[in-house]
Amino acid sequence: AQKITQTQPGMFVQEKEAVTLDCTYDTSDPSYGLFWYKQPSSGEMIFLIYQGSYDQQNATEGRYSLNFQKARKSANLVISASQLGDSAMYFCAMRDRNTGKLIFGQGTTLQVKP
Amino acid sequence: GAVVSQHPSRVICKSGTSVKIECRSLDFQATTMFWYRQFPKQSLMLMATSNEGSKATYEQGVEKDKFLINHASLTLSTLTVTSAHPEDSSFYICSASKGYPRSDYEQYFGPGTRLTVT
């Protein structure tokens, strides 16, 4: 069975500093996709970044980058130059190749301090 | 592109009544829609997957007679919470996918509906 684990319930970071949010996954499928979403207090799910299991390079999207370590089955999100607006809950998710379902981790609440 | 709307954004209903939540893909055809439920400060839990024109597939432990899902068109899916009770109070989020379940189709999320049952 596929599983996503986020072990950090809450994180603090100083404004303008970088922060890493951890995500590990478990799957026996050689082909999979990994996602990170941001959920502010309004509740909307905002797509941040995607990494395919066969992608040769780590994904990057502006201030977001994904530290993909396939052998360790980890897909950590790195946010550089944190901003106050980054305060939110962050979810790591894996997509089941056959069903298209997303399996979410427990989430990490990030608070950016001024 | 790829905008998904939900209506209503908030709803309060009395215990024992039914409430319908709509999920629409505004600028694309969604062959597959997903319905999630989220309790405060918890993760999203998939309730069911609906494909246009066919019956929804419910996750284990989700009562299909209580949570009725209809995906009547390529742009609309509805979730009806029947005989709602206070424990059904939650944040319901839908997502839509452009393609049939395959790994390379992203899910686009709606803004969610907060249901409160009194």
pLDDT at B98: 77
Chain A hits for B38, CB-CB cut-off 8 Å, are 43
Rounded to whole angstroms, how far apart are CA atoms A40 and B108? 16
> Cβ of B43 and A97 within 8 Å?
no
Flag whether pLDDT at B16 surpasses 50: yes
Q: Strand, coil or helix: what is A85?
A: helix
- Comparing A100-104, A105-109, B75-79, which segment has the lowest mean pLDDT? A100-104
- The two beta strands, B76-81 and B67-73, are antiparallel
To test the contact with chain B by mutation, choose from A32, A44, A102 the residue with the greatest count of B C-beta atoms within 10 A, namely A102
A21 CA: distance to closest CA in chain B (Å): 16
Q: How far apart are CA A105 and CA A42, in angstroms?
A: 19
Mapped onto helix, strand or coil, the DSSP state of residue A64 is: strand
* Cα–Cα distance measured from residue B31 to residue B44, given in angstroms and rounded to the nearest whole number: 21
pLDDT (0 to 100) of residue A31:
86
The residue behind tokens 């997957």 is B49
Share of chain A above pLDDT 90, in %: 82
- B42, B100, B111 member nearest A43 (Cβ): B111
| Gap from B108 CA to chain A (nearest CA, Å) | 8
Residues A20-59 pLDDT 10s: 999 999 999 888 899 999 999 999 999 999 999 998 899 9
Q: Which residues of B fall within a CB distance of 8 Å from A8?
A: none
Q: Which helix (H) or strand (E) holds B56?
A: none
Q: Give me the pLDDT at residue B101, please.
A: 47
Q: Which residues of A touch B41 (CB under 8 A)?
A: 89, 107, 109
Give the pLDDT confidence of B96-113 residue by residue, as tens digits: 987 654 445 678 999 999
